[in-house]
Chains A and B, each alone.
Chain A
């Protein structure tokens, strides 16, 4: 109990520090959102619009920076995160709300899948060390992990989408499709998700395999594993319930961390595949000096990662009795 309270205290202090940095950092950037919008809409916007935009966005109103900070903290507490400037005047929460499900869906599911598959492969590779699977799979996937993500993405689009025409290479659902609760829409989403998911899987699975395999190898030399084998328990049972269960602990922490990072959205994925998720929104917010949107997204990412760290600590405490005793 005391353990959890201490972790919560730490969590709140880190959160406050993150919020403060979150406020000051974007404002260190030169220029203002109105100027950014004029440039980004070159050809569609009369340069004389600068004044009108500054009025509309409420920038350059010379308010004291600490007064603004106080207002910012108050707004966060009441949940009012303001209007986005890039997508003016759509409220920030609406912008995020529309993009979040796609990121959670694609990146979240792929991360989970990558973790499960990677751990399984690592476990099996370590169990049958030196065998056929062990010699091929980890090596292959570590090499693919080293490839630049966008390169694999573009190659996949070129091969599977443009040349072979098997799968669509962009967007989350068909161009003329609309969001509806129907099997057709679900089918579209799955079809459009296969290529991005595949590329994320291929580039991230190597890490899981390697860590799992290495911890597994250490675990396999433990006495209790030898005891279990000597007692005549089936090899599948020993591999999973005795060795695997203990070897997975470091990976669990890593997994919780990576879940926290899901929300920052695989930015490159979303650009290459034109996938309507949070990562691309963040990129646009930064390019357009969209303070409200940037702050909101950074806030979400920070909170997600902090929660993930908290979760990882709690999970470790629950799964590994040794950590509990020590504290």
Chain B
């Protein structure tokens, strides 16, 4: 099934440029993200006679009032500017592993995957009228190098140099790190050299009037309570965006944000709403819709250094003792589908999923098999275990309640420790736990199973008990696993990548360092009362949550008045 990107044909560009770009991207995308639907060129016709104008209101609990800072380098605020003000080089849709060229029109890997060259788009202007050039791209990355406090994607742990050359920008790597493409091309918003070179300390700089290349600008009338975005009439995608204004109110807690959405005051929501059918859908059944696409996993991290969890049969037993379907229905209102033991998110990564291997183990709820495995692992009688959890996540609290009941059936008494966020972090990072409930990769949505598997299995980011680990909290240390993960980093061949992931899935199935329980989802509600062009399950052209960046740029450039 082919999905065409809904990007307008650029007026005035020769047709053959589009075809050539399209061919290049087709060839390259298929090799880097193997098995994904290849991206078509960014030239396909937009719907004709689209109504221009309209004000769209977003409803997303940001947790705090706006500080009037839109710096793309500051993680506290960059979700409000990366995408619609500061654009990335290439947009990657994590749901389909599909790429759309933005400020770059294409790219090539060379030199044994140690050099990455982007071709930069011509004819783009900053919102202050100056021209956007490859020098801006090189400047942005070198700025992040000069000030390590800005390197929030840690790209300079793998980069050696970034230089502008003609109409390209050349990235030289210290070692092969192909998966970093996702962060370099998609997660970083390009800032302008002519403004940021004058900033003395970019780490503490308050970017109050951001100048970007994107479809919207920040209106000076924005207040701590609401950001107003205005249409950029000189946006490089001619005719887009269709909306004239976007309003983004700040909510400090979930209930007021939910009330706002349920009262029909917003068009696009990113909220967790209990009983969404009664609370939201039934209020306006013709126009109110929701869809929660999965993107990651919520796992039980098992501390593999602690007896008896250091025995793989005990860990396997626990994996057979979790009724994932019940956790999904009862603990998560049925919003989050059950996960599978390979940690590969389905249906997004179905092409990566090794069905035959997974079926051999068949990790479904099987208390008798679990009991047998417990005995094989040397557990005599009943077993007492404790799990740490973030008490503020009420759905995780319910989920663990179900797990507790499941474990009781195999003679394991599970004690649940609902902690504050800081307490939980401290114990999880330092390894002071037996079991811990957390998202695989800090809930980061990524375009292949590699990222979650690396977060869970790569010992390089782990640490001994008593020291803080940044990931691999289970303390899984296996040189064969590390070797596989490093091999994946070095290749752009889809076939090699798939075979590596299959082996990693084998480790997940046999060794069970973590137990994936449910799949995390993006929260997405939308009303078709005023606007059309929303992403849906049938047309998932973006990760549809308002807090997903740079995806929200694509959505806000595509929806239009009915």
**Contact among A39, A83, A162 with B263 in the assembled complex (CB-CB below 8 Å):** A162
Q: B439 to nearest A CB, angstroms?
A: 6
Interface size in chain A (residues, C-beta < 8 A): 57
Residues of chain A within 8 A of B253, CB atoms compared: 271-272, 274
Q: A31 to nearest B CB, angstroms?
A: 5
Q: Are A39's CB and B256's CB within 8 A? A: no
Residues 265 to 306 of chain A near chain B (Cβ within 8 Å): 270-274, 276, 280, 284, 287, 289
Q: B181 to nearest A CB, angstroms?
A: 14
**Which of B7-15, B163-171, B222-230 contacts its partner?**
B222-230
Residues of chain B within 8 A of A39, CB atoms compared: 390, 421, 424-425, 442
Residues of chain A within 8 A of B153, CB atoms compared: 46, 48-49
Is A86 among interface residues, defined by CB-CB distance under 8 A?
A: yes
Q: A48 to nearest B CB, angstroms?
A: 4
Q: Are B67's CB and A95's CB within 8 A? A: yes
Q: B250 to nearest A CB, angstroms?
A: 8
Q: Are A56's CB and B149's CB within 8 A? A: yes
Q: Per-residue 0/1 for B55-97: is the Cβ within 8 Å of any A Cβ (1 yes, 0 no)?
A: 0010000011101010000111001000000000000000000
* A47 CA / B153 CA spacing, docked (Å): 8
Q: Are B226's CB and A176's CB within 8 A? A: yes
Q: B7 to nearest A CB, angstroms?
A: 25
The residue of chain A having its C-beta at the shortest distance from the C-beta of B426 within the complex is A30
Is A171 among interface residues, defined by CB-CB distance under 8 A?
A: yes
Interface centre among A31, A49, A162 (most CB of B within 10 A): A31
Q: Per-residue 0/1 for B171-183: is the Cβ within 8 Å of any A Cβ (1 yes, 0 no)?
A: 0000000000001
Q: Are B251's CB and A52's CB within 8 A? A: no
Q: A274 to nearest B CB, angstroms?
A: 4
Q: Are B67's CB and A48's CB within 8 A? A: no
Q: A271 to nearest B CB, angstroms?
A: 5
Is B431 among interface residues, defined by CB-CB distance under 8 A?
A: no
Interface residues, chain A, with chain B CB atoms under 8 Å away:
29-31, 35-53, 55-56, 83, 86-90, 95, 98-99, 154, 157, 161-162, 169-173, 175-179, 270-274, 276, 280, 284, 287, 289
Question: 21 A-B contacts, Cβ less than 8 Å apart?
Answer: A38-B425, A39-B442, A43-B439, A43-B547, A44-B75, A46-B442, A46-B444, A47-B471, A52-B149, A53-B152, A55-B149, A56-B149, A89-B205, A161-B259, A173-B223, A179-B223, A274-B251, A276-B65, A276-B224, A287-B420, A287-B421
What 4 A-B pairs come out closest when comparing CB atoms?
Answer: A56-B149, A48-B154, A43-B443, A89-B204
Inter-chain pairs besides A49-B152, A287-B422, 20 sampled, C-beta below 8 Å: A31-B422, A39-B424, A43-B443, A44-B75, A46-B154, A49-B75, A50-B470, A87-B69, A157-B256, A162-B259, A170-B260, A171-B256, A173-B225, A175-B247, A176-B228, A177-B223, A274-B257, A276-B252, A287-B420, A287-B421
